[in-house]
Homo-oligomer: A and B are copies of this chain.
Amino acid sequence: MDDIVIILVQPQLGENIGATARAMKNFGLSELRIVSPRDGWPNEKAESMSVGAVDLIHSAKIFDSLEDAVKDLDFLYATTGERRDMNKDYIISRNLAQDLQQKGRVGILFGREATGLTNTEIAYANKILTINTVPDFSSLNIAHAVCLVCYEIFNNQNILRSDLGNNQKLATSQERAFLHKYLINALDGKGFFKVAEKKEHMSLKIQNILTRIDKLSHSDVQILIGIISSLVK
């Protein structure tokens, strides 16, 4: 998690900066950057609200411009409440950990409390990150948004680590597709699809089940192929 930097852009309230630091530390993140905090720096309220995470407040780096704050980073996400009409890839928080893989040093931008990030700021990012909420009450407290993102990252650390061991590499979409096709062919050979018209529907159902295997790895695919080829013997 040392490669993930949380960046607050012009946060207004010290309390929110403090609560952000606490949430980061709860979930093992440690690098906080702040672009032009409204009430200056250092900020007493940020210190007191951070409780035991005051070390993150003391080591936070302050920047005058977003450009300076992100120039050493390899990949940037911009967090927005509602989807904006910009020509940029979107990802929801639930899928963040998986998406983070092999991105190098990553920054995640959070905008000011009242107005979020401007379109100019979002333009710096490679992708937009959204947190799904009820549509008519989508404005999250900024520290809550940081907390949810850090929680997602922490709860999927094994995904993040999985590119270390070769066997633990996540399956590619090609491997998943191959597995599905291999299974359908085996079933075809055994006359599983008795009613031709239902084949497509059942094939989709099977694909749907396979898709729902969380963190399917390269070696999982090999095991499943081995199982299928053994069963048809």
Residues of A participating in the B interface, judged by any CB pair closer than 8 Å: 15, 19, 22-23, 25-28, 51-53, 94, 131-134, 137-141, 143-144, 147-148, 151, 154-155, 183, 186-187, 190-192, 202, 205-206, 209, 212-216, 220, 223-224, 226-228, 230-233
* Bound complex: CA A207 to CA B94 (Å): 24
Majority secondary structure, A binding face: helix
Instruction: Determine which residue in A28, A52, A133 has the highest number of CB atoms from chain B within 10 A of its CB, and name it.
Output: A133
With known contacts A214-B214, A215-B212, A227-B187, A27–B133 Cβ distance under 8 A: yes
Residues in B with CB closer than 8 Å to A215 are 212
The answer to whether B213 and A212 touch across the interface, beta carbons within 8 angstroms, is: yes
* Bound complex: CA A23 to CA B144 (Å): 8
The answer to whether A212 and B216 touch across the interface, beta carbons within 8 angstroms, is: yes
> Nearest chain-B residue to A189 (Cβ)?
B231
* Bound complex: CA A233 to CA B138 (Å): 52
> Nearest chain-B residue to A202 (Cβ)?
B223
Copies of this chain: 2
| 9 more CB-based (< 8 A) A-B contacts, given A26-B144, A213-B213 | A51-B141, A144-B144, A147-B147, A191-B230, A205-B223, A206-B227, A209-B216, A209-B224, A213-B214
The answer to whether B154 and A132 touch across the interface, beta carbons within 8 angstroms, is: yes
* Bound complex: CA A52 to CA B191 (Å): 57
* Bound complex: CA A53 to CA B187 (Å): 52
- Option from B27, B147, B231 in Cβ contact (under 8 Å) with A231: B231
Residues in B with CB closer than 8 Å to A28 are 134
The answer to whether A233 and B144 touch across the interface, beta carbons within 8 angstroms, is: no
> Nearest chain-B residue to A140 (Cβ)?
B26
The answer to whether A134 and B147 touch across the interface, beta carbons within 8 angstroms, is: no
> Nearest chain-B residue to A186 (Cβ)?
B231
* Bound complex: CA A133 to CA B153 (Å): 11
With known contacts A143-B144, A212-B216, A231-B187, A154–B137 Cβ distance under 8 A: no
Residues in B with CB closer than 8 Å to A147 are 141, 144, 147-148
* Bound complex: CA A16 to CA B225 (Å): 52
Residues in B with CB closer than 8 Å to A224 are 209
